[in-house]
Amino acid sequence: MDGDLVVGVDESTLTQAVATLYGRPALGPVFSGRQTVNWQDKNVDVSWKVKEPPEVKLSAPTPDEWGKAIPRPDQKAQPTTNALWVNFPKFWAKRHDTDKEASTEVRSICTVELRNNTVLLRPVACVVDLSQVSPLDKVLYRKVIVPKILDTVDKVLGQNGLQLPRLNIGGVGFGDIAVSVGNSRMALAANLSGRGTPSAPGTSALSDRPFTVLLSGRTVEEAAKATVHSIRGKWMSTGGKFGPAHWSAGVKLNDANAGADSDPTGLQLRLWFDAEAEGWVDLGEAIKDFWETIKKKY
């Protein structure tokens, strides 16, 4: 798989993140509202509410679904890559002129954007079955419900977004991210800084785990080098008292080099250091203490 860093997220993980946003009191007004529409010189009031958390579906719309998609007024729904679904399984609406109300599923098509460590979902259009509704209800869906759903997705997921876990890999920096959607997963890939942007990662090769991180051997090696660089030149000392005598010992790391093994889980680490002691001290023990300190800290 191309990329020095590949992150995979499944749709259940993203749905759980959306459910968390849905439960925030501050975002409550985003999920309900009321609006007036003029229909044949008559004002009709419509109330609406998202009664269940939205669900993320990481699959691309079919050409037929794109053809049925309802965009914002005066806009067109253009098929695009890396599109996914944010579905509203129970969207409730009520007409106040007749007290008519109904709940239905409305599915919104979104595209994926990335900003820093945040996944932003930009709504494009909605798909809803209007075959059994009245002409007035079709107008209400097109002029009120669809725009409101698109606004809801944009405010919750397009402006706030879904925060990915921040990865700190030994202080190593990465470049621009490529993204792909499919097989109920989202994959994000990046190369080490200065190596350009990788091709869009495949999703079929990812594990079934909810959240997956894959590192290239190059990344492991660079992270190890960055770690040992941070302790180069440091002096670590120890000492104590044995009866009336005092002793002390110290170890200084002069240089270090790290490299990845053929086994991606292994590292080769070479250390060059100075050691000195005062009193009757076993330098081997001092060096052993020094190594244990490195392992605990780094």
Q: What is the pTM of this model?
A: 0.71
- pLDDT, mean of residues 149-170: 77
Rounded distance between C-alpha atoms, residue 193 and residue 176, angstroms: 8
| Burial of 163 per CB tally in 10 Å (0-12, 13-18, 19+) | exposed
Rounded distance between C-alpha atoms, residue 176 and residue 185, angstroms: 20
Rounded distance between C-alpha atoms, residue 117 and residue 102, angstroms: 39
Contact 206, 185 (CB under 8 A): yes
Question: Among 139-143, 165-169, 189-193, 218-222, which is the least confidently predicted range?
Answer: 165-169
Residues 6+ apart with CB under 8 A from 233: 252, 253, 254
Residue 213 structure tokens: 């991180």
Residues 6+ apart with CB under 8 A from 256: 228, 229, 231, 232, 269, 270, 271, 272
DSSP 82: T
Residue 281 structure tokens: 């001290």
Q: How confident is the model at residue 296 (pLDDT cuts 50, 70, 90)?
A: low
Predicted pLDDT of residue 234: 58
Element (H, E) at 6: strand 5-10
Residue 29 structure tokens: 């007004």
Predicted pLDDT of residue 279: 41
- pLDDT, mean of residues 226-240: 57
The type of residue at 206 is: L
Angle formed at CA 206 by CA 204 and CA 209, multiple of 5 degrees: 125
Residue 295 structure tokens: 């392992």
- pLDDT, mean of residues 11-34: 88
Rounded distance between C-alpha atoms, residue 93 and residue 141, angstroms: 9
Predicted pLDDT of residue 252: 46
- Alpha carbons within 13 angstroms on the beta-carbon side of residue 261 total 8
Predicted pLDDT of residue 195: 86
Q: Which residue has the higher pLDDT, 22 or 274?
A: 22
Q: Of the spans 48-62, 128-142, 237-251, which averages the highest pLDDT?
A: 48-62
Question: What tens digit of pLDDT does each residue of 147-157 get?
Answer: 989 999 998 88
Q: How confident is the model at residue 294 (pLDDT cuts 50, 70, 90)?
A: low
Element (H, E) at 20: helix 11-22
Q: How confident is the model at residue 265 (pLDDT cuts 50, 70, 90)?
A: very low
